[in-house]
Amino acid sequence: MKKETFSVVNHSVLKIDGLQLALGRKSYVADLKPSDALYVKMLWSPHAHAEITSIDIRKAETMPGVRCVLCHTNTPRNIHCTAGQGFPEPSPYDTFMFDKKVRYVGDRVAAVAAETPEQAEEALKTIEVTYNLLEPVFTVDRALEPDAPIIHDEPEAHIPIPVPYEPEHNIVAKVGMEAGEFDQALAQADYSFDYTYETPYAQHCPIETYISMAHIDARGRVVVETSTQVPFHARRIIARTLGIPVRQIRVIKPRIGGGFGSKQEMLLEDVVALMALRTGRHVIWQLTRAENFRTGRTRHPIRLRIRTGVQKDGTLSALGMDAINNTGAYGGHGLTVVSCCGSKVLPLYRCDNIHFDARVVYTNLPVGGAYRGFGATQAFFAVETQIDEMAEAIGMDPLVFRQKNHIRTGDGSPVFQALGEGKEGTPMTIGSCALDQCILQGAAAIGWERRTPHTEKTGRYRTGIGMCCLMQGSSVPEIDMGAAAIKMNDDGSFNLTIGATDLGTGSDTVLGQIAAEALRTTIDQMIVYSSDTDLTPFDVGAYASSTTYLSGEAVRKAAVKVLNQILGVAAEMLEVPAESLEARESTVFSADGRQATYSEICLYALYQKNQFQIMDSASHITHKSPPPFAAHFVELELDTFTGCIKLLQYVATVDCGTAINPKLAEGQTEGGVMNGLSYALTEQYLFDSRGKMTNASFHNYHIWSMRDKPILKTILVPSYEETGPFGAKSVSEICINGPAPAINNALYNAAGIRLREFPFTPERVWNELQKKQA
Amino acid sequence: MKTLEEIFCRQPETLNEALTLLSDEATRGVLLSGGTDLVVQWQAGAVPMPEQVIDLSAVPELKEISAQDGCLRIGACVTHAAIRNHALTREALPALVAACASIGARQIQSRGTLGGNVANASPAGDASPALLVADARVVTASLAGERCIPMNEFLLDYRKIDRHPDELILRFELTPCPQGGIERFCKIGTRGAQAISKVMGACRVVMHGKDIQHMALALGSVAATAIRLPETEKLLAGKTLCEELVDEAEACVLREVHPIADIRSTAEYRRWVSGRIVRGFLESL
Ligand SMILES: Cc1cc2nc3c(=O)[nH]c(=O)nc-3n(C[C@H](O)[C@H](O)[C@H](O)COP(=O)(O)OP(=O)(O)OC[C@H]3O[C@@H](n4cnc5c(N)ncnc54)[C@H](O)[C@@H]3O)c2cc1C
């Protein structure tokens, strides 16, 4: 590990937007709404699968206050993909702004913009729609049957990259890889295992639901202020959907009340933009919580069959994963999520014989999307459960089994090369891995040595300790790009503009810290502005754990260029060669003790001689996706009378390289763990027989609150990633992957039960206890 | 759609004023106490917003906790927080105190009331089992006078109570837990706060050594209303507590409850866990 003394990074500076948010200053989309904005309400499909045989909006158009009504008869029919990904997207184009067909309960039918939300609601009621009901498809098994109804039979549907796409079979994508001799290794293993796991639907539940507002500026361009993780992709997709040039659109992301992947999507923007174009007015649309649940994006439910082989000495000889990903009614992110089941999980353990085969399938259920963890969450539940089981079978402590097999610095994996984003991946060797330390420090913190086998436990309340190991990635190599520009001001401050998207994560702060460090100045000299397609450089946006590692390096490179300009001007002023100068604390020093402050330097450059603006920009793409690593530990108490689980303590260790802002890194970890605990224990989508979610509110969809928080300890275990800015890797996604497998393993340690699906509700735990007794 | 502002709300300051409003169909409105059930139901569209409302929160008689003639009186508009904190209830009604402390979270406990919880008549109302084991009587009042109805008779059916249109619930009268008596409360939900129960139960027991002198058991969310378990009580009363008796009692509970499946749990789980709750009570004695 490299030791550097940092003055700004690796310090927990305050979030630069913290005060404005704490004081409730106008920051979010809803705060920016003028008093005369039009409000949008959407008529959603009550049916899971149906053709619209007729729709009559004439009455609605004459209702009081109504200014615009949209439906498939009066809107552009441009096939597109709502997923905010690179271009061309590794996702099918299977969506129209409005279609003649509805494919899930919550699909768009018609939209109204009116002077008040109530008037818009009233107008919706007057829209007459007749449907021809089609057989709905609610399971992946049914979707794959030869006589299954075809969900996407529109001729325009296609995928813009060369991968298999078979909508006539409800198949969105297929991906796979082989390394070594999997079948043979499995057959020859001392012990082999074959289990199938199901992971459930869930939602991100950002406190700010989806919201977008559009208006027309003085030059007739449409300005969309929106709660998005992907402003530049959103601009591109709006342009495609509406059939207008990109130059006509400006997308601005103000502060955001959480995203977690759900807003890596263009979901509301096309409607408000078109309505603004048609009415010339400000148009705002925010989903209610129920709408957010039903029509917003979700975590893909995935069925995972895991086949593994292990030798008595603890060698992992075969590792196989077959995944079926239910992407719901539309295919965005389906392929990439399931690819990450393989690419972010299978390399964690050294194994010569690897098999991966995955399919993505349409159903008439809510639409999957990007969700923090992105496939790794689902797959780690399955794989880390089975890892424990293998250790048990050979009589090895599961911690020792993991220590023996986990990937290390200098290792590669055939998986890295084989699996990319809709194409082959990028070969990679691990440059930084402190997983060994994560395991040791986590074990010490939880008190792993107190762990006794479940066979020694009796009585109503039984404690169990479980663990798991995790990895993720940092950015999508060779695809994603981030750019930054820095401009110096007369007082020695700097404008940092970035396309990167802060969705509450603190990335504006973190990127400001990176710039300040490289510029040898302090964070208060940085004026950070991000995510405005007119004013900031491009960035793919906030996803794939990329902002710190990818955009951060663009920022660092831009800062180094600007620093060189500063040194050049100082050299002119002090009449010494630039190489002899040193910059620190916003001042340039010469070897003979003279100095020029940044303010003096900028004033000189702006006003005195050889004038120019000190400014520069840089772009960055990555050539690898260095994984952060983590070991999570949980101690719980199982009430065998009720099946209720009480968490006693949770320890999350993480190697994220250099933590640019340790407090924010801890915050990411704790938030992710809480989110993961909630997913593991309580969250579930319940559907009625017609495919409608029945618990679309926080009253019945239970996310965890502070009352539920166990003792939660985060340990940042440093390493140094040479390819990242100041040694940093990612931290934001990995943490959500741990709770489900760690709890499952602790349940086994408590009572000898292993579950193959979650959430671990009292009912489900009770079932397992019953089965075990029988 | 109607909004809250459009509801006509009267706020009587005396009991008589409230009863007078109730006596006349023209002024009779939906009774509002803390509003934590009602307002939510209105907003969700589960119950239509009424034309008029009588807000009871300013009637002093409804907010008293007192001990009289060997029984504890709790006014209908006493909040869960008040029950949680009051010396009399803490001393004499530990199961009710535990139940009130489990309702919603602090904010809900500070607004929600005992009368509202009972009158809402949800089988998942957490206070009811504790009231049942304390042999609660519900005292209702109208201009015509008061009625005193045993709690188990007052709860008629799913979301139905024995209240006449011109009546309000005045108070609850409860028998304090006797000296040396033990009360327990158990709630099974999905998370630490803000979770409506899958099943909950309460018991009141008087033991003499290992002999069971008095046994009252009640469960909620396992039938249309919260219920006492008379068969199981009969089985246990007067017996000496031992392992076989606990087994028998658990089996008896399974025969006595007939839960349904809903959004919060399954019928099978509810049945099984009912037995387990009672077993847990007995094993803790
Ligand atoms: C977030 C949240 C969490 C909750 N959690 C729980 C929980 O964990 N457990 C639980 O049991 N409940 C819970 N509830 C429900 C509710 O808080 C309780 O039932 C509460 O006790 C209701 O009391 P209230 O005073 O608010 O009733 P209100 O809403 O004012 O009234 C409820 C009903 O009682 C009637 N009523 C009120 N006073 C009288 C009277 N004096 N005479 C006759 N009828 C009357 C009303 O007309 C209405 O029908 C929760 C509610 C919310 C919003």
Q: At what angle do helices A552-574 and A507-519 cross, to 10 degrees?
A: 30
Mutant choice from A458, A675, A699 vs B, greatest count of B C-beta within 10 A:
A699
**Cα distances (Å, whole numbers) of residue A434 to A103, A158, A627, A688:** 46, 43, 11, 47
B61, B83, B107, B117: which to mutate for ligand 1, most atoms within 8 A of CB? B117
Architecture label for domain A298-476+624-773: 2-Layer Sandwich (3.30)
Q: Do A642 and B273 touch (CB under 8 A)?
A: yes
CB contacts of B253 in chain A (<8 Å) are none
Look at strands B155-157 and A222-226 and give their pairing: unpaired
Return the H-helix or E-strand segment holding B33: none
DSSP state of A406: B
Q: Do A708 and B193 touch (CB under 8 A)?
A: yes
For domain B182-283, the CATH class is alpha beta
Residue A597 tokens read as 């402050």
Residues of A in contact with B1 (CB under 8 A): 118, 121
- A686 Cα to chain B: minimum distance (Å): 8
Q: What are phi and psi of A21, to 5 degrees?
A: -75, -40
How far does residue B125's CA lie from ligand 1's centre (Å)? 8
A685: nearest Cα among A368, A337, A294, A106: A294
Residue with tokens 């880390």: A384
Ligand 1 center–CA B39 separation, angstroms: 9
Q: How far is the CA of A127 from the centre of ligand 1 (A)?
A: 37
Ligand 1 atom with the shortest distance to the CA of B124: 11
Residue of B nearest to A289 (CA): B44
Is the pLDDT score of B194 beyond 80?
Answer: yes
Domain boundaries, chain B: 4-55, 61-174, 182-283
Is A490 at the interface with chain B, CB within 8 A? no
| C-beta atoms of B280 and A121 within 8 A | no
Give CA–CA dist A155/A176, Å, rounded: 27
Q: How far is the CA of A706 from the centre of ligand 1 (A)?
A: 24
Rounded to an integer, the average pLDDT of B177-192 is 93
- Return residues 44-63 of B near A (CB < 8 Å): 44
Which chain B residue has its CA at the smallest distance from A693's CA? B263
Q: Which CATH class is domain B61-174?
A: alpha beta
Distance (Å) from the alpha carbon of B98 to chain A's nearest alpha carbon: 17
A575 touches chain B (CB under 8 A): no
What per-residue confidence (pLDDT) applies to A434? 98
Q: Which residues pair with A167 in a beta bridge?
A: none
- CATH fold label, A33-134+210-286: Aldehyde Oxidoreductase; domain 3 (3.90.1170)
What kind and span of H or E run contains A164?
A: none
Instruction: Give A642's contacts in chain B (Cβ within 8 Å).
Output: 188, 273, 276-277, 280
Q: Confirm whether A18-26+481-621 and A298-476+624-773 share one CATH topology.
A: yes
The fold adopted by the segment(s) B4-55 is 3.30.43
Measure CB to CB from residue A641 to each of B192, B193, B279 and give the nearest one.
Answer: B279
Mutation pick for ligand 1 pocket among B108, B171, B172, B221 (CB with most ligand atoms within 8 Å): B108
Closest ligand 1 atom, residue B119 Cα: 34
Closest CA to A316 of A434, A398, A379: A398
Quick one: pLDDT at residue B193?
81
> For residue A710, what is the nearest residue in chain B, using CA coordinates?
B192
Q: What is the mean pLDDT of each run of 10 residues along chain A (774 residues)?
A: 78 97 96 97 98 98 98 98 97 98 98 98 98 98 98 97 96 97 98 98 98 98 98 98 98 97 98 98 98 98 98 98 98 97 98 98 98 98 98 98 98 94 90 98 98 96 98 96 98 98 97 98 98 98 96 98 98 97 97 97 98 98 97 98 96 98 98 97 97 95 91 97 97 98 98 98 96 90
Residue of A nearest to B264 (CA): A700
Question: What mean pLDDT, rounded, does chain B reach?
Answer: 96
User: Which residues have any ligand 1 atom within 6 Å of their CB?
Assistant: B 30-38, 40, 56, 76, 103-104, 108, 111-113, 115-117, 119-120, 125-126, 163, 168-169, 194, 196
Distance CA A196, CA A382 (A): 8
Which among A641, A682, A762 has CB closest to B269?
A762
Q: Report the alpha-carbon distance of residue A424 to residue B217 in Å, rounded.
A: 65
Cβ contacts below 8 Å, chain A against chain B, sum to 60
Residue A387 is predicted with a pLDDT of 98
Among B190, B253, B283, the residue to mutate for chain A (most A Cβ within 10 A): B190
pLDDT at B1 over 80: no
- Whether residue A393 contacts residue A310, with contact meaning beta carbons closer than 8 Å, is answered with yes
Q: Cα–Cα distance between A61 and A381 in angstroms, integer?
A: 51
- CA B160 to mean position of chain CA atoms: 13
| CATH classification for the domain delimited by A18-26+481-621, as one of 3.30.365.10, 1.10.150.120, 3.40.190.10, 3.20.20.150 | 3.30.365.10
In angstroms, the separation between the Cα of residue B141 and the nearest Cα of chain A is: 34
User: What residues does each domain of chain A span?
Assistant: 18-26+481-621, 33-134+210-286, 298-476+624-773
- Residue with CA at minimum distance from ligand 1 atom 50: B104
Q: Is A700 on the interface with B (CB under 8 A)?
A: yes
Residues B1, A694: C-beta atoms closer than 8 Å: no
Nearest CA among A231, A192, A747 for reference residue A467: A747
Q: Is the dihedral of CA A241, A242, A245, A246 positive or negative?
A: negative
- Whole-number pLDDT of residue A2: 52
Residue given tokens 């009572």 in the structure block = A751
Cβ within 8 Å, pair B1-A763: no
β-strand A283-286 against A38-44: which pairing, if any? parallel
Q: Show residues of chain A in contact with B196, CB under 8 Å.
A: 699
Q: Are B191 and A682 in contact (CB < 8 Å)?
A: yes
- Kindly report the three-state secondary structure assignment for every residue of A672-727: HHHHHHHHHHCCCCCECCCCCECCCCCCCCCCCCHHHCCEEEEEECCCCCCCCHHH
Closest protein CA for atom 3 of ligand 1? B104
What SS3 state is found at A192?
Answer: strand
Q: Which residue's CA lies nearest to atom 41 of ligand 1? A: B169
- Which atom of ligand 1 is nearest to B36's Cα? 26
Neighbours of A419 (CB within 10 A): 27
Are the beta carbons of B277 and A642 separated by less than 8 Å? yes
* Nearest residue in A to B284, CA atom: A460
What's the pLDDT score for residue A1? 42
Q: Is A710 on the interface with B (CB under 8 A)?
A: no
pLDDT at B5: 86
Q: Do A642 and B279 touch (CB under 8 A)?
A: no
Minimal Cα distance from B283: which residue of A? A460
Contact B276 A642 (CB under 8 A): yes
Rounded Cα gap, residues A738 and A731, in angstroms:
13
* Best of A640, A675, A685, A708 to mutate (most B CBs within 10 Å, chain B): A708
pLDDT for the residue numbered A3: 53
